[in-house]
Structure 1
Amino acid sequence: MLKKVCVLLLPLLLLSGCFKEDYTSLESKPIPWVLTREVVQDERADVRLSGSVKARYESPIAFQLNGRVLTKHVVAGQKVNANDPLFTLDPRDVDEVERSAMAQLAVADAALATARNELKRQQQLLEQNYISRQALERFELAEREALSQRESARAVLAQARNTRTYTELSAEHAGVMINVEVEAGQVVAAGQVLATLAQEGDKEIEVYLPDGQSPPQVGQIDLRGERSIQVELREIAGAADSSSRSWRARYRLLESNESLLLGSVVQVTLFKSDNAEDVLRVPLAALDERGLGAQVWQVIEGQAQPVSVDVLELTTEYARIRADLNTQSRVIALGTHLLTPGMQVRERAL
């Protein structure tokens, strides 16, 4: 009897052990700790950015017709004067069109001369009453049609000659060639940009401002020897760049300086005269950028929640931002790349 009871209890003991193992495996993991720090009001209102020196006017160079580049007269960085040759297209096809137009004009001239001579003979016959007035009108109409065809042929020839001039590109202004992107023998399309001419004259500083930041109106660039040049906002792009979400801005130099070379990089300090009170500072490690835009994380009711921010400047230790936060807010200072919205966390203040 005892042996039968043991045999019956053995499966129950095995099942209870399995249930115990499953139960322990389903126990929740411990809630992680996160370190938080207070958001600090930024002490300064200036924005420091890197900018590049640009010409006030940059003219793209392109042909008005398709063709093969026969000669290339310039290279990147070369200075040119007004009317200097830049590029030449192979003119053979255009020359054939011009010769064809000349031949068509010759045919039209001959047809007009024939129509006028015939009209003159018919007018003499009308004076002698050999033909009627209605018959003469047909010859007058033929003379007018020949005249119209001659004018049309002249227009076609003028257009062909204009097209012949389009095979040669010359500099309209003095300046420096930048971004020369074509070689002799290359086939190009009408309107394809071959190079860019940076015209002589005023220079500007081009910077990219963070999305959401109003552009400062004035600033300065710092040169060597602790010298600076004042700059003033001239234009701001009408839309943010689709990839970087930054705004291109151009600042005009208030004084000329020959030491500023086109394309060189300079440090620009932009002065914020208003709205400086909403600029905040957070530790650099608190900033999280994972393809969803810049954000920081707060602990709200025991859960990590993201807050979108506009980044104004990055340093080696902190980030200057603008966001829907205040100086009493606390943000998670480390390990933000491991967080997910609504994640349970325990806060430990620094």
Structure 2
Amino acid sequence: MNAVLPTLIRSAVVATAVFSAALLAACSRSGAETAAAPAVRPVIAQTVVAGGRDRIERYSGEVHARYEAPIAFRIDGKISHRAVGIGDRVKAGQVLATLDPSDATMNAAGAQAAVTAATSQRDVARLQRDRIAALRDRALVSQAQLDQANDTLKAAEAALQQARQQLGVRENQVRYATLAAEHDGIITTQDAEAGQVVAAGQRVFGLAWSDEREVHIAVPESRVGALRDAAALDVTLWAQPGRRYTGTLRELSAAADPQSRTFLAKVAIADAGADVQLQMSADVAVTSSGNGAAVVLPASALFHQDAQPAVWIVDAHDRLALRKVEVARYLDDGVAITAGIAAGDRVVTRGVHTLHEGDAVRIVELPFQPTVAER
């Protein structure tokens, strides 16, 4: 019994050694196979479309008249009566508001009195000159006295002319106490009320006197060129979502607003009718042609290699290749690329900084791929 036990122990040790060697060999083969077959990475990509689609951008604005301007009194005063309000239609010459005329009337009366006094002084100076002239004919006075009388008469006539001009100014101010419409139109704003003291030139009403309508929109500086070269402009009123109007760019501001840093654009509504009313909210759809050479990709697709812009392309064997591109400009929603990619190329758009040349990938399709081409 004692002789058999050592034999059994030696057999167990040998069996354990053989099993361990076999297990290590199997693990080595599995690791080698894993190293030889790297994992396929999923990537998000989109296919470049030949010619792209039309690019549409929308801006919100308000409907205005082609011609509109503020209306104000030309003198200071207290408003005694307001005759119209917002939305009222007015005729040329119609009274809109009046100032208390008492001050202007008294000033005019004072100017009239000054004219009367100046007239009297002119008449006295003329009589004095005629008397001295008669004495000069008889050699009873010197020529110097006659010259002095003539100068006095001229000064009196000049003073009378000045008084008459001042009377004209004062009479105008009496008329300026009444604010009247200069054109047929619609009151768009009301900025003062009866009993309020206003300064000369202070806005009291806004008057639109044109039947032509246009939409005012604010355009960021990066999209000014696209607006100027737009293939089409369509206007839609919020109150009439199913109706579309043709728009035309009538005016584009030459300078940006100092606060918003946007440019004011005025889009004329060519076929506006009576249903297009002032101050309505509207949308302007700016359509840029998709037949240009530049391809717009998401900004997340752009990669840089040695300061050179590039994108990752998925080749026919589903492997990655880095391709250099030329960027025309940077947009609010992407980058416009003019060279380096072609129609049919599959461009990786997400996670580009974690990829490597030659990686095997699997494309994950998105429900919407916004590849477009723009002018």
Does the pair score TM above 0.5? yes
Q: Structure 2 matches for 1:136-155, cutoff 5 A?
A: 136-155=146-165
Q: Distance in 1 between matches of 2:301 and 2:74?
A: 55
What is the number of equivalent residue pairs in this alignment? Answer: 283
Ranges in structure 2 where 5+ consecutive residues have no aligned partner: 1-41, 306-328, 342-346, 357-362, 365-375
CA offset digits 1:255-310 (Å, max 9, x no partner): 2311111111233222324886547364xxx8xxxxxxxxx797768xxxxxx954
Q: 1:191 to 1:332 in 2, by over 3 A?
A: farther
Are 2:219 and 1:219 aligned?
no
Per-residue deviation at 1:150? 0.4
Q: Is the 8 A contact 1:309 1:321 kept in 2?
A: yes
CA offset digits 1:213-248 (Å, max 9, x no partner): 112364222465854322211100122223333221
Per-residue deviation at 1:254? 2.1
Q: Distance in 1 between matches of 2:58 and 2:100?
A: 50
**SS at 1:125 equivalent:** helix
Alignment RMSD (CA, Å) = 3.5
Q: Distance in 2 between matches of 1:255 and 1:191?
A: 35
Q: 1:195 to 1:278 in 2, by over 3 A?
A: farther
Per-residue deviation at 1:208? 2.1
Which residue of structure 2 aligns with residue 230 of structure 1? Answer: 246
Are 2:94 and 1:84 aligned?
yes
Q: 1:272 to 1:139 in 2, by over 3 A?
A: same
Q: Which moved more, 1:72-81 or 1:218-227?
A: 218-227
Q: 1:128 to 1:207 in 2, by over 3 A?
A: same
Q: 1:68 to 1:228 in 2, by over 3 A?
A: same
Q: Is the 8 A contact 2:98 2:177 kept in 1?
A: yes
Q: Is the 8 A contact 2:53 2:289 kept in 1?
A: no
Are 2:54 and 1:47 aligned?
no
Are 2:149 and 1:135 aligned?
no
**SS at 2:55 equivalent:** coil
Ranges in structure 1 where 5+ consecutive residues have no aligned partner: 1-34, 287-295, 302-307, 312-319, 334-344
- Matching residue's letter, 2:134: Q
Per-residue deviation at 1:325? 9.8
Q: Structure 2 matches for 1:330-349, cutoff 5 A?
A: 330=349
Q: 1:246 to 1:329 in 2, by over 3 A?
A: farther
Q: Distance in 2 between matches of 1:237 and 1:50?
A: 17
Q: Is the 8 A contact 2:53 2:290 kept in 1?
A: no
TM-score (norm 1): 0.69
Q: 1:168 to 1:121 in 2, by over 3 A?
A: same
Q: Is the 8 A contact 1:176 1:198 kept in 2?
A: yes
Q: Distance in 2 between matches of 1:87 and 1:329?
A: 67
Q: Is the 8 A contact 1:210 1:310 kept in 2?
A: no
Q: Structure 2 matches for 1:1-350, cutoff 5 A?
A: 43-213=53-223, 214=225, 215=227, 216=230, 218-222=232-236, 224=240, 226-273=242-289, 278=294, 280=296, 282=298, 310-311=331-332, 320-321=333-334, 328=347, 330=349
Per-residue deviation at 1:121? 1.1
Q: Is the 8 A contact 2:63 2:279 kept in 1?
A: yes
Which residue of structure 1 aligns with residue 13 of structure 2? Answer: none
Which residue of structure 2 aligns with residue 7 of structure 1? Answer: none
